[in-house]
Amino acid sequence: MADVLTEVTAIRYLNPLRAGGSVPGIVEADDLGTYVVKFTGAAQGRKALVAEVIVGELARRLGLRVPELVLVDFDPAVAAEEPDAEIQDMLRASVGHNLGMDYLPGARDFDPEGGAGGKPPMVDVHPVEAGQVVWLDALTGNVDRSVHNPNLMVWHGRLWLIDNGAGLIFHHRWSGAHASLLKRYDLSNHALAGFAPDVPAADARLAPLVTPELLREVVASVPGQWLADEPGFGTVDEVREAYVRHLAARARQSAAWLPEGFATPEQLRRTEAERAAATRAGRPAWLRHVPDLHGKPSAAPDWSRHVD
């Protein structure tokens, strides 16, 4: 029996979140819950939602903290008062099932340098936990959890993983998926690189858990309509099994891609300073003293700022 996500119905659209390219929205549902919803009509497409489900549900089963994921049945009529025409276009293209992530009230964006300058750290991230998050990101090819864009939140003193849609890069071109099977991703600037991630310990514990059976359970959570009409596959079941084969094989051969060579916080700051200096040096003289705003971290959305 498929392990499907809980389904709820949107009854009120509160606010869009403009921090990311997908423009998710804060939505209230008929189960009295509040969710951060990512829409099928967004520019990133359905594959970002597929990655959110597979990576998020796999992380949960491996013992990492991910806000509950649900399917949100959305009728654009509940957002009739949204004034932005482009957002309205996206919402009208998102009729039906969309992906909701449980809203964590009062959660804060994780700051990788929260303990810099003598300040107390935001949260005490143990090397074992840091290693497990890094290992998961390496397994799933997620390079979008960097010091500049951590995609981590702190809630009740603990670390929570959000925004996993950039994982599973291989599914954007299935014909080349096999070539990326043993790929070692550069995670030297990972958001948790400064917390001495114990990746070998994570590999020893987690790799044996990523079995075809577990992966089939995880992939069964993805709505079939999000996997339909995939070029090169005859049925949705074939697509599901392709995810299972790829991730199971990658887990079995983890020795080939284990991340290594993490930069220290000091090295990351020095690299960023050098990059900013090089950028300023290439500017016209009258611009050289203008701050380089592009070098500043783009924080994960602070949900608490967007609800009245």
- DSSP of 29-52: ETTS-EEEEE-TTSTT-HHHHHHH
Q: pLDDT at residue 107 above 60?
A: yes
Judge if 131 and 235 occupy the same domain.
Answer: yes
* pLDDT score recorded for residue 293: 45
The CATH number assigned to the domain holding 147 equals 1.10.1070
Residue 307 covered by a domain? no
* pLDDT score recorded for residue 117: 62
What are the strands, taking DSSP E only, across 140-264? 152-155, 158-161
DSSP state of 204: H
Q: pLDDT at residue 1 above 60?
A: no
Judge if 126 and 248 occupy the same domain.
Answer: yes
Residue 27 covered by a domain? yes
Judge if 239 and 278 occupy the same domain.
Answer: no
Q: Which helix (H) or strand (E) holds 96?
A: strand 96-102
Q: Which of 49, 75, 107 is the endpoint of a domain?
A: 107
Judge if 32 and 91 occupy the same domain.
Answer: yes
Write the CA distances from 77 to 30, 82, 97, 99, integer angstroms: 15, 10, 15, 18
Residue 63 covered by a domain? yes
Judge if 217 and 277 occupy the same domain.
Answer: no
Burial of 132 (0-12, 13-18, 19+ CB in 10 A): buried
Domain count for the chain, please give it: 3
Judge if 121 and 54 occupy the same domain.
Answer: no
The neighbouring-strand residues paired with 38 are 99
Residue 302 covered by a domain? no
Judge if 248 and 140 occupy the same domain.
Answer: yes
Beta-sheet pairing, 152-155 with 108-109: antiparallel
Mean pLDDT value across the chain = 89
User: Model confidence at 302, in pLDDT bands (50, 70, 90)?
Assistant: low
* pLDDT score recorded for residue 41: 95
- Tens digit of each residue's pLDDT (9 = 90 or more) over 229-286: 999 999 999 999 999 999 999 999 999 999 988 866 676 667 666 766 776 666 666 5
DSSP reduced 3-state for 235: coil
CA distance 76 to 53: 23
Judge if 82 and 158 occupy the same domain.
Answer: no
Q: Give the rounded percent of residues in the chain with a pLDDT score beyond 70.
A: 82
- Tens digit of each residue's pLDDT (9 = 90 or more) over 142-172: 999 999 999 999 999 999 999 999 999 999 9
CA angle 38, 151, 160 (to 5 degrees): 95
Judge if 86 and 113 occupy the same domain.
Answer: no
* pLDDT score recorded for residue 3: 63
Residue 298 covered by a domain? no
Q: How far apart are the first and last CA of the chain?
A: 40
Judge if 201 and 240 occupy the same domain.
Answer: yes
* pLDDT score recorded for residue 306: 47
Residue 69 covered by a domain? yes
Residue 1 covered by a domain? no
Burial of 80 (0-12, 13-18, 19+ CB in 10 A): exposed
Judge if 63 and 86 occupy the same domain.
Answer: yes
* Domain with 132 in it: 108-256
CA distance 51 to 119: 35
Residue 239 covered by a domain? yes
Judge if 219 and 148 occupy the same domain.
Answer: yes
